[in-house]
């Protein structure tokens, strides 16, 4: 997971690694923070085990038990992205091997990962002048704050706590 930093200026990211992972002490859920390969901003991921009610459910699909999807408006309230809150919103969900590089030592391999990221308007150190010239529709970096590893670690912990609470409360959900 090496990131080419040759286009980055110096900043808070200079002293940070390109990936950091741990097991959340409270929920025991594996957490991963990985730097975007060219934007340079962080993305955060929390993995849930196969027993978790949201395991295998895409971030923008209905998780409601027994739902027949007859009422799409209700379904949207049951999307993982609506049930969970993390910086910038839950952007995707996937198994190991898709989209993210999960270290072999992290988790059991069967986890389903929910991810979020420090995207616009956050500062992304890989958005150089040349990058901006090619993509003028993006605002310049610096409009927002750089979200540090420390910030993202905290967000992962907050997401893990939500996922744990949701699993504990799931049995109370009325099946239609």
For the bound state, the minimum distance from the C-beta of residue 69 to Zn ion, rounded and expressed in Å, comes to 4
Minimum gap (Å) between residue 80 Cβ and Zn ion: 12
Smallest gap, in angstroms, from Cβ of residue 171 to Zn ion? Answer: 19
Q: Which is nearer to Zn ion, 52 or 64 (CB)?
A: 64
User: Which helix (H) or strand (E) covers residue 73, if one does?
Assistant: helix 72-76
Q: Please, what is the minimum distance in Å from the beta carbon of residue 78 to Zn ion?
A: 6
Report which secondary-structure segment, H or E, holds 134: helix 129-134
Residue whose pair of structure tokens reads 């706590």 in the numeric block: 161
Task: Output the smallest distance, CB 166 to Zn ion, in A.
Answer: 16
| Residue with Cβ nearer Zn ion (76 or 85) | 76
d(CA 125, CA 9): 7
Query: Which backbone phi and psi does 65 adopt, to 5 degrees?
Result: -60, 130
Q: How far is Cα 144 from Cα 126, in angstroms, rounded to an integer? A: 14
70 or 134, CB closer to Zn ion? 70
CA within 13 Å, CB half, 121 = 6
Let me know how long the chain is: 176
Nearest-CB residue for Zn ion? 62
Q: Which is nearer to Zn ion, 46 or 166 (CB)?
A: 166
C-beta of residue 128 within 8 angstroms of C-beta of residue 7: yes
Listed in sequence order, the residues at least 6 apart from 27 whose beta carbon sits closer than 8 Å to its beta carbon are 160, 161, 163, 164
The smaller minimum CB distance to Zn ion, of residues 4 and 77, is found at 77
Chain contacts with Zn ion (rule: CB under 5 A)? 62, 64, 67, 69, 75
């Amino acid at each position: 997971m090496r990131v080419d930093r040759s286009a980055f200026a110096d900043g808070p990211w200079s002293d940070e690694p390109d990936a950091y992972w741990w097991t959340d002490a409270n929920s025991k859920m594996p957490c991963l923070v990985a730097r975007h390969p060219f934007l340079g901003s962080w993305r955060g991921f929390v993995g849930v085990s196969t027993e978790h009610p949201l395991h295998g459910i895409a971030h923008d699909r209905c998780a409601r038990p027994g739902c027949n999807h007859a009422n799409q408006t209700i379904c949207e309230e049951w999307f993982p992205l609506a049930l969970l809150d993390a910086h910038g919103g839950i952007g995707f969900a996937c198994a190991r091997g898709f989209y993210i590089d999960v270290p072999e030592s992290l988790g059991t391999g069967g986890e389903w990962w929910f991810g979020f990221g420090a995207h616009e308007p956050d500062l992304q150190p890989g958005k150089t002048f040349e990058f901006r010239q090619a993509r003028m529709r993006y605002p310049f970096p610096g409009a927002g704050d750089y979200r540090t590893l420390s910030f993202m670690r905290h967000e992962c912990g907050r997401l893990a706590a939500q996922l744990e609470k949701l699993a504990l409360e799931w049995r109370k959900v009325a099946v239609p």
